[in-house]
Chain A
Amino acid sequence: MPGASLFGGWRLMERTRRNALLNLLALLALAYALYLFDRYGTDYQVRILNNMAIFITLAVSYNLINGVCGILHLGPNAFVAIGAYTSALLTMSPMEKQMNYIIEPLMWPFSVLNAPFLVALIAGGLLAAFFAFLISFPVFRVRGDYLAIVTLGFGEVVRVICNAFQSVTNGPLGLKGLALHSNLWWTWGVAVVTITAVSKLVQSSYGRAMKAIREDEIAARAMGIDPFKHLLMAFLISAFFSGVAGGLLAHLIRTISPTLFTFFLTFNLLIMIVVGGLGSTTGAVIGAALFAWGGEALRIVEQPVQVAGLKIPGIPGMRMVVFSLILMVVIIFARHGIMGRHEFSWDWLFHKVRFGAARD
């Protein structure tokens, strides 16, 4: 029984120190893996990894609202769009702007503004959070289905504005030729910061208040929790990270247009967090990683295949059918997804290892 006494006898302080050390080691391992991919990986692998990190950022911040607060928010695409356009307008040089805006010149303050990438990302996040603040008053007056429709409507309004407000967004043409600022270090760095910030928040007393609101809002209010304050907090933080992820996305694919930020994006995020398990940050990470990888793997269904001498032509759009089916099957038959509401933690891992060892 030396193992049991070793782990069971550890005091809380020592366990915290051990976990911090393990976190550091995990981060170093991630950094080393990224270094290897950065150096030796193919362009294709690097692109998937970049997408994965951006999806993780988006899914984790989206899960904060949908999973932790239990509010069906359907407009993250709006915040991603705001972040993408803001950061793109800030990093483009005045020359590039002139070349892009052929139909209508860019409005004054935006035509001269210029900022380094980090400032542009943060500005994108802050502006997204500001818009979240503006709409939070009509949004949090209602709950449930109404809230879903209002936020969906907000996403559509932002898309319509992106299309119509040509002197800022360049309309349907979008912005082309952005500098390639996003690389593995930026995307994964933001993902790690997002995961850390969101899980710290969820573990704090604010996070527990959010969960209380999810379970029973009236009871939570009776315990002295102000629902508006906590929901607003989650909403702003979620919008901020969505905006930053939008900036990363813009400087990764280097061309943005309103078609990129439709409800379709929200639908993909919804699949990620439902498959991972609504309410679990770990689940959101797993869901996003699976989606980034699975989305590529599923390209098979759209390509022509040779089965027993028969040539079946590829069917474009089949991937979305599969995704919709996955979402429905998971929500009907396995509502809790992969992780349910559980989180990964070192304590949990050691607990598993210890009990696994004790059984031998």
Chain B
Amino acid sequence: MLSYCLPPWKGFQSVSGTIFFQQLINGMSLGSLYGLVAIGYTMVYGILRLINFAHGDLLMFAAYAAIYCVTLFSLPWTLSFPVAILMTGLMGIVLDRTAYKPLRNAPRISLLISAIGASFLLENLALVVLGGVPKAFPRPDVFDQVIELWGLRIQVLTIYTPVVTLALLAGLLFIVYKTKAGKAMRAASKDFETTRLMGINLDRIIALTFLLGSSLAAAGGIMWAMKYPQVNPFMGVFPGLKAFIAAVLGGIGNIVGAVIGGFLLGLGEILIVALLPELAQYRDAFAFVILILVLLFRPTGIMGEPLTDKV
């Protein structure tokens, strides 16, 4: 462990071109997962101005739901994954109705505390009901194959993840920018009260937001569980926190920004570890350092619009 004393450029010597590209692809794959989860944060924040602390735990919920669909009801994965995603989406609505809706007119600090409480409740309920022993995730064989590409050995899942993310992003952008409900969502994020005056049922719009955001988190959670096939009640905590940082990095409230932020964060994390292996232990701290830097120098993120204080 004397490597701390080495000058930082020493680490570069061991990295060849192939390994670099391998890590680049790994980083994209991880980043797209962060991006998927970050979309949910950014959508909820855009409308309610609330960090949904329990968002990461929905990821855990989705992974368990998928496991039980496959093992308990022996559904094929093509059916059980969509079922798990739908269940998580509904869970998101339940979460909003129980933990956040009673506090719509309360001070912001109460809402945040309620979100933290909901997050701990979900985690510990899972611990009590499902047990703390990590469960193996039944990864379908389709994603297990390894392909050779330009001399690189890449797991198919690593390729699928960014592709699925971009496809889901396209679908979401269609809903938000081309449908009537999407227009209402954008209006609500601009001005909550005026949108209500325009005769829009905000409860329905908020429910739709939670449904979409939670479903995307579920898709991210299932892919996360396939990537790291150990499912436990606290698996959502770190992906959740990092996805939130990705959302801030991309500019909170901006859907495309969330995905870009996710890609950048995932790439940065993997590349830092690949280029400077002696910093590997500090990997979990990297995201928070990025967050502090973003808030210091560009608090609105990459794609965000400047915020002004409302008096």
A→B interface (CB under 8 Å): 66, 70, 72, 74, 103-104, 135, 137-138, 141-142, 144-146, 148-150, 152-154, 156-157, 160-161, 163-164, 166-167, 218, 267, 270, 274, 278, 315-318, 320-321, 323-325, 327-328, 331-333, 335
Select which of A146, A152, A154, A331 is within 8 A of B110 by beta carbon.
A331
A278 contacts B296, CB within 8 Å? no
Q: Cα distance A141–B307 when bound, in Å?
A: 13
* Chain A residue nearest in CB terms to B103: A332
Residues in chain A near residue B1, CB distance under 8 A: 103-104, 166
Q: Mark B103-127, 1 if CB is under 8 A from A, else 0.
A: 1001011101110111011001101
Residues in chain B near residue A157, CB distance under 8 A: 285, 288-289
Select which of A148, A166, A167, A324 is within 8 A of B121 by beta carbon.
A324
A331 contacts B113, CB within 8 Å? yes
Q: Is the interface of B mostly helix, strand, loop or mixed?
A: helix
B149 at the interface (CB under 8 A from A): no
Knowing A72-B112, A145-B50 are in contact, say whether A152-B241 is a contact too (CB < 8 A): yes
B114 contacts A331, CB within 8 Å? yes
Residues in chain A near residue B136, CB distance under 8 A: none
A148 contacts B128, CB within 8 Å? no
Residues in chain A near residue B125, CB distance under 8 A: 321
A150 contacts B116, CB within 8 Å? no
**Interface Cβ pair total, 8 Å cutoff:** 119
Query: Which residues of B (34-64) have their CB < 8 Å from a CB of A?
Result: 45, 49-51
**Additional 11 contacts, C-beta under 8 A, given A149-B241, A318-B128, A328-B118:** A135-B292, A138-B296, A141-B299, A146-B299, A150-B292, A153-B287, A163-B281, A320-B127, A324-B118, A324-B120, A331-B110
Q: Mark B225-248, 1 if CB is under 8 A from A, else 0.
A: 000000000000000010011001
Q: Is the interface of A mostly helix, strand, loop or mixed?
A: helix
Knowing A156-B241, A156-B285, A317-B124 are in contact, say whether A145-B296 is a contact too (CB < 8 A): no
Knowing A150-B291, A152-B241, A331-B103 are in contact, say whether A160-B120 is a contact too (CB < 8 A): no
Residues in chain B near residue A333, CB distance under 8 A: 102
A153 contacts B124, CB within 8 Å? no
Give the B interface residue count (CB, 8 A): 44
Q: List 28 A-B contacts (CB under 8 A).
A: A72-B112, A138-B292, A138-B295, A138-B296, A141-B295, A141-B296, A142-B299, A145-B45, A146-B295, A150-B288, A150-B292, A152-B241, A153-B287, A153-B288, A153-B291, A156-B241, A156-B284, A157-B288, A163-B281, A164-B281, A164-B282, A167-B4, A315-B128, A316-B128, A328-B114, A331-B114, A333-B102, A335-B106
* Chain B residue nearest in CB terms to A135: B292
* Chain B residue nearest in CB terms to A332: B102
Residues in chain B near residue A150, CB distance under 8 A: 288, 291-292, 295
Select which of A160, A163, A318, A331 is within 8 A of B117 by beta carbon.
A331
Residues in chain A near residue B128, CB distance under 8 A: 315-318, 321
A218 contacts B299, CB within 8 Å? no
**Distance (whole angstroms) from the CB of B289 to the closest CB of chain A:** 7
Q: Cα distance A73–B118 when bound, in Å?
A: 18
Q: Cα distance A137–B1 when bound, in Å?
A: 33
Residues in chain A near residue B248, CB distance under 8 A: 146, 149
A320 contacts B291, CB within 8 Å? no
Q: Cα distance A153–B284 when bound, in Å?
A: 10
Q: Cα distance A327–B115 when bound, in Å?
A: 10
A218 contacts B284, CB within 8 Å? no
B112 contacts A148, CB within 8 Å? yes
Q: Cα distance A103–B120 when bound, in Å?
A: 35
B241 contacts A328, CB within 8 Å? no
* Chain A residue nearest in CB terms to B287: A153
Residues in chain B near residue A146, CB distance under 8 A: 248, 295, 299
A72 contacts B285, CB within 8 Å? no
For the complex of A and B, the 8 pairs showing the least CB-CB separation, nearest first, are A153-B288, A164-B281, A324-B121, A320-B124, A327-B117, A328-B117, A324-B120, A160-B285
**Distance (whole angstroms) from the CB of B286 to the closest CB of chain A:** 9
B91 at the interface (CB under 8 A from A): no
B299 contacts A278, CB within 8 Å? no
* Chain B residue nearest in CB terms to A148: B112
Select which of B102, B124, B132 is within 8 A of A321 by beta carbon.
B124
A278 contacts B117, CB within 8 Å? no
**Distance (whole angstroms) from the CB of A240 to the closest CB of chain B:** 22
Knowing A138-B296, A150-B292 are in contact, say whether A267-B116 is a contact too (CB < 8 A): yes
Residues in chain B near residue A331, CB distance under 8 A: 103, 110, 113-114, 117
B120 contacts A320, CB within 8 Å? yes
A270 contacts B114, CB within 8 Å? no
* Chain A residue nearest in CB terms to B296: A138
Q: Cα distance A31–B5 when bound, in Å?
A: 53
Q: Cα distance A316–B287 when bound, in Å?
A: 33
Q: Cα distance A156–B245 when bound, in Å?
A: 13
**Distance (whole angstroms) from the CB of A320 to the closest CB of chain B:** 4
Query: Which residues of B (288-311) have their CB < 8 Å from a CB of A?
Result: 288-289, 291-292, 295-296, 299, 309, 311
